[in-house]
Structure 1
Amino acid sequence: VPPPPTEAFWHWQRQFSQHTQPFILLAEAQPAWLSVALLPFVLLFVGWAIVVAAGGVILWQRKQRQNADQRAWYYQHARLNTLGEITAGIVHEINQPLTAVQTWIQGAQRQVRQDNPAAVAQALGSALVQTQRISALLTRFREHVTQEAVTLEAVDLAECWRHVGNLLEHERTASPVRLTHDFAADARTLCADRLWLEQVLHNLLSNAIQAQQERAAGWVHIRSHREGERIHIAITDGGPGFTPEALHNAFMPFYSGREGGTGLGMTLTESLVTRMNGTLALDNAPEGGARIRLQFAHHGGQVNG
């Protein structure tokens, strides 16, 4: 006779066929789950959760310390690199005025021996102008480093270019390099800091002169025109132009395309142009030679650069 149906949690049976007395072996269970003590399991789970959480916190704190150490290392090296760039930048910017001062003083000494007081006075006056330029450069450089507010005003582009040409007269005549210009009537005045604009033009003209030292007769041409509220300036020269590597790395600190260069001229130039709300782009002119294109606002005010 088969066993009656059951609702047990688990059920097992086996039938044994015997000649004398067949029988069926049954086994089943219906646990009383509500009577099972759950507290030990709950405590075990909570204990493991605490261990896992504590381990996670320890690992997270260790990672945070490592990140903090890495940030401290990075900031320290960044400060050292920045200090190096600032120092090299100061050296780069005042080197040419100092060289000019030395040249004018040597010229004054020669004129003293030749008993030419008028030429002596002129040479000393030019040297004084260069020392004043060094002082102004250091002041502007401090403003640039500390990111102080910059007052932009109307600046005569032609006058700045003429002044820069006079400052580099010795370098121009030694090469020699001829300067030409074509300033549109409505594109002679732009919004800039006068000394910073002179420094930008000084760096660009100095680079153009140095690029043509091996040529018998070099030239640098600057032209400007106005488009809307922007003044566009293009400076071209008769040099070999920019190499692909120079175009790619020109604004990288300490990159120089010539031997003995500091590699900071173009970096500082771009930074000054940006502080004056301008743009700077490099390429090669279709007829050959380097071309530098600048843009500045036609009207100005005060900006925080």
Structure 2
Amino acid sequence: MSLATIGLLVAYQYVSGLSALSERARSMEMLLAERLAQHDAHLSGLGAVVRMSPDEPSTSIQGLAENIIARYPRITNITTITIGNGTVRAVSYGRAQNPEIADLQPNLDLTGLDKIGDTSARPATTPHAYEIFKLVAPKRILRLRIDTDALLDMGDGGADYSSTLSLDGAVLLETSRGTHALLTASNALDTSNHSQPLHLTVSRGFRPNELAPPHLALPLLAALAAITWLIMRYRHASRERQSQERRATLFEQEAKLAQAGRVNAMGEMASGIAHELAQPIAAMLSQSQAAKRALTIDRPDILVTAVDANIRDARRAGEILARMRAYVSGAPARIEEIPLTEAVTDALRLVKADLAQRGITLVVTQSDEVGTGCIDVISFQQVLHNLVRNAADAVAGRQNPRITVDVRRLGDEVLIIVADNGPGIEPSSLGRIFDPFFTTKTDGMGLGLPLSARLLEKMNGSIEACNDGGARFTIHLPTCVLR
């Protein structure tokens, strides 16, 4: 009977240890996932600043890098790499001293960095570290070096726990504890982060005195009730303490992740403003030049027309800025009721002259049954203008370039279809064209389509893309936003 009781207690201790191992593995997986997400957020924020800083060393990049390294010590190095004609120039940022400039070997491995926005994680040449590379602009790479000791630092995890972190088969970190263990159990986990595919193994050793404590040598039948009560109280107190520690850790991690999100949002807002204001500013420049020529030829009618157009585009630029601020702050859209055909006509008026000058045919078809819609007018026209501008870039230089805009009502929704007879979208890119900072243009930022999707979401709408003899984008507005 005593041996059976000891066996039951040993089994209970072992199962409890497996439960604790599983709980610790989940905690480490959660911590690792959040920190990897922070790395992605830093890459996005830094990438936006790098694109706006063509000349290096840059004080803007240095300031942001110092802030990131001070707040996140596991990020030990932030470097921009510029590939020239047979040269590779690296600038290291983030330390208190000035940025360091170095020349790397020209045979830099660019595997996995084929398009703007691609990322690749690789083991570093230094021990206990790995590096993340991101192609942020043509021939410009951003690199973050991560200290794996700090990445999985969970404080005192106990002498029985061991962990191994690896990347592409290379061991980045290995802690070995519990060398006198009688039994060993382990949990293996793969992170869900596609840019940093780390493999984590958490192990726990069971010492003989854990499976069969010395006091069990005493007559177990006489002390069984007291031992059971003590074990239950101990485990309850231990779980409560661990639960409180995990909550405190999670609160701290959430605060750090929120800070990283704000840094990312600042970079996204700056890039978005630069992207969306390019057209009205270019229009005002062209109209100002026309006004100047009107003065020299004494044509006040042309001058008045150009000034009126400048006023209209200046107001539009102000409205775009207001929408961008509302977009980043999460403010609700400014919805108003307006005939959809009128909104479409006003949006296309801004691009007709440019399309005609470039020899591009624009065909607009609008059904009389469309009616009015409840939309954010400026945001809606911003989306439509962006789609037509992208289509114009796609058909430029082709024979008989043509863009069609079709507005129709289909069942319970209104469709606005923008199509062109260009080369279409690469099938491999169709699933990513609405991802922030993903672009197929050599000089693009990758913000126009993601911003368009977000603006339509605020109007309870959506957008989709496909190939149909060229690129075809369809805006859906459900009847719930229509009168």
**TM-score tier after normalising by the smaller chain length:** 0.7 to 0.9
Between the aligned partners of 2:471 and 2:333, the Cα distance in structure 1 is: 33
Aligned equivalent of 1:254, options 414, 434, 437: 437
Between the aligned partners of 2:242 and 2:344, the Cα distance in structure 1 is: 62
C-alpha RMSD of matched pairs (Å): 2.8
**Contact preservation (8 Å) 1:151, 1:301:** no
**Contact preservation (8 Å) 1:153, 1:192:** yes
State the partner residue of 2:450.
267
Specify which structure has the higher proportion of helix. Answer: 1
Q: Secondary structure at the match of 1:293?
A: strand
Between the aligned partners of 2:321 and 2:303, the Cα distance in structure 1 is: 27
Between the aligned partners of 1:236 and 1:301, the Cα distance in structure 2 is: 24
1:290 aligned to 2:471?
A: yes
State the partner residue of 2:428.
245
**Superposed displacement of residue 220, structure 1:** 0.7
**Superposed displacement of residue 276, structure 1:** 1.6
**Superposed displacement of residue 120, structure 1:** 1.6
- Name the aligned partner's letter for residue 296 of structure 2: R
- Name the aligned partner's letter for residue 338 of structure 2: A
**Superposed displacement of residue 238, structure 1:** 1.4
1:235 aligned to 2:383?
A: no
Matches for 1:184-223 after TM superposition, within 5 Å: 184-187=367-370, 189-223=372-406
State the partner residue of 1:280.
463
State the partner residue of 2:337.
153
**Superposed displacement of residue 298, structure 1:** 5.2
Unaligned runs of 5+ in 1: 1-35
State the partner residue of 1:32.
none
State the partner residue of 2:102.
none
Q: C-alpha deviations, 1:213-253, integer Å up to 9, x for none? A: 23244111011222233222221101111112331111111
Between the aligned partners of 1:156 and 1:53, the Cα distance in structure 2 is: 63
**Superposed displacement of residue 177, structure 1:** 1.3
Cα distance change, pair 160–48 in 1 and its aligned pair in 2 (3 A):
closer
Between the aligned partners of 2:223 and 2:412, the Cα distance in structure 1 is: 80
**Contact preservation (8 Å) 1:188, 1:224:** no
Q: Secondary structure at the match of 1:248?
A: coil
Between the aligned partners of 1:245 and 1:113, the Cα distance in structure 2 is: 53
**Count of aligned pairs:** 263
Q: Secondary structure at the match of 2:304?
A: helix
Q: Which structure has the higher relative contact order (CA within 8 Å, separation 6+)?
A: 1
Matches for 1:63-142 after TM superposition, within 5 Å: 63-142=246-325
State the partner residue of 2:345.
162
**Superposed displacement of residue 127, structure 1:** 1.1
**Contact preservation (8 Å) 1:137, 1:195:** yes
Between the aligned partners of 2:481 and 2:288, the Cα distance in structure 1 is: 39
**Superposed displacement of residue 168, structure 1:** 2.0
**Superposed displacement of residue 210, structure 1:** 1.2
Higher Rg: 1
Between the aligned partners of 1:181 and 1:84, the Cα distance in structure 2 is: 36
**Contact preservation (8 Å) 2:336, 2:374:** yes
Aligned equivalent of 1:225, options 396, 399, 408: 408
Unaligned runs of 5+ in 2: 1-218
TM-score normalized by structure 2? 0.49
**Superposed displacement of residue 199, structure 1:** 1.1
Matches for 1:174-185 after TM superposition, within 5 Å: 174-185=357-368
Between the aligned partners of 1:169 and 1:218, the Cα distance in structure 2 is: 14
Between the aligned partners of 1:44 and 1:188, the Cα distance in structure 2 is: 78
Q: Secondary structure at the match of 2:258?
A: helix
**Superposed displacement of residue 262, structure 1:** 1.6
Cα distance change, pair 209–301 in 1 and its aligned pair in 2 (3 A):
closer
**Superposed displacement of residue 291, structure 1:** 0.6
What percentage of aligned pairs have identical amino acids? Answer: 27
- Name the aligned partner's letter for residue 289 of structure 1: G
State the partner residue of 1:3.
none
**Contact preservation (8 Å) 1:190, 1:299:** no
Q: Secondary structure at the match of 2:398?
A: coil
